[in-house]
Amino acid sequence: MIKTNIKEYSFQEINNKIRVIFKQNNYFEIDKDFTDIEYEIKDNQLCFNTENEKKIKKIMHKILSYAEYKNIFTNKKIYYINEQSQIPLIGSIAYGLIDRGSNIIEIRPNTGCNMNCPFCSVDEGLSSKKKVEYYVEPHYLAKEFQKLCELKNTDYIEAHIGPQGEPVAYDDLELFISLIKKIPNVKIISINTNGTLITKELADKLIKAGLNRVNLSLHTMDTLNSKKMFGSGKYDIEQIKEISQYLANKIELVIAPVLVKGYNEEDLIEVINFAKKISKNIKFPKICIQNFLRYKFGRNPVKEIKWDEFYKQLDYYEKSTNTNMKITESDFNIKPCNSPEKTIKKNEILKVKIVLPGRLQGEKIAMAKKRSISIFNAENLQIGKEYKIKIIKDKHNLYTAVPN
- Give tens-digit pLDDT for 326-357: 999 999 999 999 999 999 999 999 999 999 99
Residue 19, pLDDT score: 97
Same domain, 108 and 13: no
Which ranges constitute the DSSP H helices of 230-382?
A: 237-248, 268-278, 307-321
Residues of the chain below pLDDT 70:
none
Structural domain range at position 32:
2-68
Residue 94, pLDDT score: 98
Mean pLDDT of the chain: 97
Residue 65, pLDDT score: 86
The neighbour count for residue 113, using CB atoms within 10 Å, is 29
Q: Do the domain assignments include residue 341? A: no
Same domain, 285 and 368: no
Same domain, 198 and 292: yes
Whether the Cβ atoms of residue 360 and residue 297 lie closer than 8 Å to each other? yes
Q: Do the domain assignments include residue 339? A: no
Instruction: State which amino acid sits at residue 385.
Output: K
> pTM for this one?
0.95
Same domain, 314 and 375: no
Q: Do the domain assignments include residue 160? A: yes
Same domain, 48 and 132: no
Same domain, 307 and 193: yes
Distances in whole angstroms, Cα of residue 8 to Cα of each of 20, 71, 138, 209, 250: 10, 16, 15, 20, 29
Same domain, 87 and 175: yes
Structural domains of the chain, count: 3
Q: Do the domain assignments include residue 103? A: yes
Same domain, 126 and 237: yes
Residue 235, pLDDT score: 98
Same domain, 148 and 38: no
Same domain, 92 and 216: yes
Residue 66, pLDDT score: 83
Residue 400, pLDDT score: 98
* Neighbouring-strand partners of residue 159: 105, 189
Same domain, 42 and 169: no
Residue 5, pLDDT score: 87
Reported as a single tens digit per residue, the pLDDT across 23-64 is 999 999 999 999 999 999 999 999 999 999 999 999 999 999
